[in-house]
Amino acid sequence: MSYYFAIIGTQDNPLFEYEFGTSKQGGDGMARFTEQARQLNQFIIHSSLDIVEEVQWTNGQMYLKLVDRFFTSYISCFLTASNIKFLLLHQPPSSSTLTGGTSRTSTSIAANPTSPQTEEAIRNFFAEVYENYVKAIMSPFYRTNMEIRSPVFRARVAAAGRKYL
Amino acid sequence: MSNHLPAGAGSGGGGGRAGDSGLRYPSNGKTIYHRPLNRTKTAELSKAAFAYLFAEMVSYAQRRVTGIQELEKRLNLQGHPIGLKLLDLLLFREPPRTQLRPLNIIALLHFIKINVWTHLFGRQADRLEKSSNPDTPDEFMIIDNEPLVNAYISVPKEMSQLNCAAFAAGIIEGVCDGAGFPARVTAHTVGDTGEGGEMWPGRTVFLVKFQPEVLEREALIGAKS
Amino acid sequence: MSFHFAHSSKPWPLPSRIPPRRQRHGNLLKKKGSLIASLTVFSLVIINKAGGLIYNRTFHEGGLNKISTNDYLVLAGTFHGVHAITARLNPVKSAPERPLSNSIPGVPGGILTRPEPPSGLEVLESENFRLQCFNTLTGVKFLLFTDTTQTNVDVIIRRIYDLYSDYVMKNPFYQLEMPIRCDMFDRKLLSYIREVNNR
């Protein structure tokens, strides 16, 4: 399973992005996107913003769960109080490397993007990133919609990814 | 999404570039990321320390201003980023069950009256009102009988239009803007008029005027649900 | 004049010897049947460290004769000068000799001590009023004109100093050494003195 995580500001501008792979079940934590997919991921995330905006004013929850799907890419969303969007694109291993049957029946987070376990794991991931995001914006030098450059923040996001996904 | 930096893209698993970023860390190695966000919930700050700091902020804002409006504008600007940040911090501190983003004006104003006020001033705001004038349905009022920021401030006669609570108005404006309810917030002294004016000479009304698109959206959501 | 006895709950603790004295005084008034309230704070003058008058307010008409603002300015300047000279008269007490043995010089018992600053004129009394001066560490002087029988003047002055440091020094529109024009200070001071005078 490969993940692409992005924080999108209020002007639909990217504030932070990070690619990683699963660390569960012996995963090495490396993303397995092809060069082409990496370009595509940004477009997929961007296009799902429209769907996020549709639910933004009808659902007061912060965690909006799965919001969009593009072929094998699933997009989960978390909205902060100040309407900053956390978007996580997750892509199960492509069926060409695995036999189709096993990837559907497996209960692991990696193989099953729509299961409740996956939903909960992503919720925990977002919650931890949110905590660190709040800490990041507490900096007196940080203004809304500025890129988050803190290396500590990046390390924390990576740790949350390893921990839950 | 076209302005991705190369450093950000494709650094899968590559955190901890702290060493070569030229950042300086506190000597004990603890950054804000190592501290919990919840612990200081009940801690109090010295009112005197705030009063001296605020006095300096007002003096600073007063430098080379051309008029009272500009001075209030500057105080407002000082408060604005605080409001933006408070919104996220306070919602983060809410228990998960009630951790809801405010979706309508009433929910937002209640959040300000209760959560923001209690966090900043140790008590709730005194009253919440909607403009009774049918021409201005976009105006709401948050009323504080004695704003903490003005506790020690006497405004000279020649500046009688000034209310230094413009700073608190800026905080409210930041909260509103952050939550997606763009508004203009101004502070007005109403102590000498109205009932109870004798008792609360410093009574301040924070006039919240939302942008037209906020009411438009409110009507749309109301119609849908 | 029963109110002299009615207020037993005071905002600060009074020494126990005070009540009988107040009581006696109240009786005295009753006998006289006089309308002039005694136990009164008449007026307050604040002088900056350069000897300039920065605040002057009368709380009780009739206690003192009216003098012009100009005269108050002269009073402030003159008092400032007299205070400075009397402070020079005051011998500075040298720190007490301490045993030579194992103590660190200048730090007896671990606490740094330094000689008391020379204090100048503190109280000036006439037949009808009493003038008490309180000199702050920054050289601001509070002069309080009271009735000769007023008690607890130092407590009152302290409290006025509190009000001054709150409502004058924390006010961003007050410029140091300049005349005090702060509504909030006036208001708080008046209500406090009214409370004292009505006790």
Q: Is B32 contained in some domain?
A: no
In angstroms, the CA B165 to CA B132 distance is 23
What is the reported pTM? 0.80
Model confidence pLDDT, tens digit, residues B1-47 = 344 433 333 333 333 344 455 667 777 878 888 888 876 656 788 99
Model confidence pLDDT, tens digit, residues B113-122 = 999 999 899 8
CB atoms within 10 A of CB A52: 20
Strands (E), chain C: 41-47, 53-58, 123-125, 130-135, 141-146
Mean pLDDT of A10-26: 87
CATH number of the domain at B191, please.
3.30.1380.20
Single-letter amino acid code for the residue at B39:
R
C167 within 8 A of C182, measured Cβ to Cβ:
yes
pLDDT at C57: 93
- The whole domain housing B107 covers 44-224
Q: Which of B202, B195, B193, B136 is nearest to B168 (CA)?
A: B202
In angstroms, the CA B174 to CA B146 distance is 21
B156: contact with C, CB 8 A cutoff: yes
- CATH among 3.30.450.20, 3.30.450.70, 3.30.70.260, 3.40.1350.10 for C38-89+113-199: 3.30.450.70
Model confidence pLDDT, tens digit, residues A41-83 = 999 999 999 999 888 888 888 898 888 888 888 999 999 999 9
Chain B stretch 189-218, residues whose beta carbon is closer than 8 A to a beta carbon of chain C: 201
Query: Could you give the ipTM of this predicted complex?
Result: 0.84
C172 within 8 A of B62, measured Cβ to Cβ:
yes
Do the Cβ atoms of B37 and A131 come within 8 Å? yes
CB atoms within 10 A of CB C38: 17
C173: contact with B, CB 8 A cutoff: yes
Q: What angle do CA B184, B190, B194 make, to 5 degrees?
A: 130
Question: Looking at the 3D structure of chain B, how many domains does it have?
Answer: 1
In angstroms, the CA C128 to CA C115 distance is 36
Contacts of A52 in chain B (CB under 8 A): none
Question: Looking at the 3D structure of chain A, how many domains does it have?
Answer: 1
pLDDT at A71: 85
In angstroms, the CA B177 to CA A155 distance is 30
Contacts of B102 in chain A (CB under 8 A): 60
Contacts within 8 Å (CB) and 24+ apart, A52-58: A52/A77, A52/A79, A52/A85, A52/A87, A56/A83, A56/B180, A57/B103, A57/B217, A57/B221, A58/B103, A58/B221, A58/B224, A58/B225
Length of chain C: 199
> Mind spelling out the 3-state secondary structure of B159-190?
HCCCCCCHHHHHHHHHHHHHCCCCEEEEEEEC
Mean pLDDT of A5-9: 94
Locate the domains of chain C by residue range.
38-89+113-199
The secondary element (H helix, E strand) that includes residue B50 is helix B47-62
- The whole domain housing A30 covers 2-164
Model confidence pLDDT, tens digit, residues B160-206 = 889 999 999 999 999 999 999 999 999 999 876 656 556 788 899 99
Model confidence at C10: pLDDT above 50: no
CATH number of the domain at A14, please.
3.30.450.70
